[in-house]
Amino acid sequence: MPELPEVETVRRGLEAQVVGRRITKVEVGRERTVRRTSARSVIDGLTGATITAVNRRGKYLLCPLDSGDELMMHLRMSGRLLVAPAGAERPPHTHVVMHLAGKPAEELWFVDPRTFGEVVVFDPRNVAVEIPEVAKMGVDPIADGLTRKQFSELLRRRARQIKALLLDQHVVAGIGNIYCDEALHLAGVRWDRRSNEVTPRETTKLHTAIMRVLGEAIEAGGSTLADTQYVGVDGAGGWFQLHHRVYDRAGQRCLTCRKANIVRVAVAGRGTHFCPRCQH
DNA sequence: AAACAAACCTGTGCGC
DNA sequence: TGCGCACAGGTTTGTT
């Protein structure tokens, strides 16, 4: 579900609401959510600790604690993080609850129907062992910055379909299915082009498109689709879905050429949307 | 090396 | 109204 812009929106909400607050109590209702380690490890690692910052790399939320440990949360497909008044009625599938000290006392809920998401407390000095994906993550276009030159080198290194390359978190971190399709359309590049055969001119357009789509989506608070699965920590949805030009628009007129219809194909199990007239 | 299918789960929307 | 199927924003693993 959430891609870089959605996770960044959640990060900003958390930064405003939980930084500097002590976690007084932790409840784990679903072992699966803490499967990387254990409920014991998460409860012991968080209880009494204060969150000192909320960082993001790709789709991973990383929160340093005053204990020296770090809290990592990943929303995967259906995860949501909500800040609510202490004692408020919890929605179904609330798997982890962190009680936050302060006035008023509040709770941070990790809600996740499909249970792909996870919560783990780890020692950042051992990140390569405890969360290897984080250690091996590619460049985050927003958090790290991504120059046209860097991007060009990433494309040149391999001969993969451009969509698969953009979705590979070890190469570029944070782009998911929506923003990948949107960026390729903005740049006029087809999903199945070989990454090392994208021309310099197209590389520039694609680089610009990625930065633009991610930036604008963050400004819009992300994309909240029809199922309203994704929302920020205050429960509000984003509105970038109103700007989608190809995602979930199969069969509808292309908003750019206004002649062809958007086509949807399945690529490695992912719905892929593109305009056969605008993208080459 | 690259591409794909399947797996992990639950909910929703659609056609019949 | 009910049922079965397809499909969903992510990532890993195993197989061609």
According to the model, what pLDDT value does residue A65 have? 98
* Residue A1: pLDDT over 70: no
Residue A49 CA, nucleotide B3 C1', distance (Å): 45
* Residue A228: pLDDT over 80: no
CATH fold of A141-274: Helicase, Ruva Protein; domain 3 (1.10.8)
According to the model, what pLDDT value does residue A226 have? 77
For the question of residue A3 being annotated catalytic, the response is: yes
Closest nucleotide to A76's CA, by C1' atom?
Answer: C10
- What are the boundaries of each domain within chain A? 4-135, 141-274
Protein-covered nucleotides of chain C (CB closer than 7 Å) are 7-12
According to the model, what pLDDT value does residue A230 have? 80
Of the residues A21, A56, A57, A59, only one is catalytic, namely A59
For A4-135, CATH number out of 1.10.20.10, 3.40.640.10, 3.20.190.10, 3.40.140.10 equals 3.20.190.10
Q: Which residue is nearest to nucleotide B2 (CA to C1')?
A: A160
How much of chain A, in percent, has pLDDT values that exceed 90? Answer: 95
The residue-averaged pLDDT of A119-147 equals 98
The mean pLDDT value of chain A amounts to 96
For the question of residue A270 being annotated catalytic, the response is: yes
According to the model, what pLDDT value does residue A225 have? 87
For the question of residue A104 being annotated catalytic, the response is: no
pTM of the model: 0.98
Residue A149 CA, nucleotide B11 C1', distance (Å): 43
For the question of residue A2 being annotated catalytic, the response is: yes
Could you tell me the pLDDT band of residue A227, with boundaries at 50, 70 and 90?
Answer: confident
According to the model, what pLDDT value does residue A44 have? 98
The residue-averaged pLDDT of A79-87 equals 97
Closest nucleotide to A133's CA, by C1' atom?
Answer: C11
Selected residue with higher pLDDT from A235 and A47? A47
Residue A4 CA, nucleotide B16 C1', distance (Å): 39
- Beta carbon of A116 within 7 Å of strand B? yes
Q: Is A48 left (phi over 0), alpha (psi -120 to 50) or beta?
A: left
Residue A113 CA, nucleotide C4 C1', distance (Å): 22
- Beta carbon of A113 within 7 Å of strand B? yes
* Residue A19: pLDDT over 70: yes
Q: Which residue is nearest to nucleotide B8 (CA to C1')?
A: A116
